[in-house]
Amino acid sequence: MKISDITCPACQASYEVAESISVRGNPGRAKCAVCGALIESWEEPKLRAYRLVLPPTTDYPLAAPPSPAH
């Protein structure tokens, strides 16, 4: 198994890609689960699986600073 990272060219979502080196698959294409853009296409018979690791926008709430100790 070969593991690599890929980023959607349209929305910058991050994916991990697992590619089997022992099991044959089919030619195919992968689309972004977030925006639907084409991430990758291949003609060779490879089995690949994509996992969304980080969506393009992650808005974390701002944490209030700790109050000073008196």
Residue 7 scores a pLDDT above 90: yes
3-state SS class at 12: coil
Based on DSSP, count helices (H) and strands (E) in the chain, helices before strands.
0, 5
Pick from 37, 36, 43, 28: nearest CA to 9 = 37
Residue 51, strand partner residues: 16
pTM for this structure?
0.72
Predicted local confidence at residue 55, as pLDDT:
84
Per-residue pLDDT of 25-67, as tens digits, reads: 899 999 999 999 999 999 989 899 999 998 877 566 777 888 8
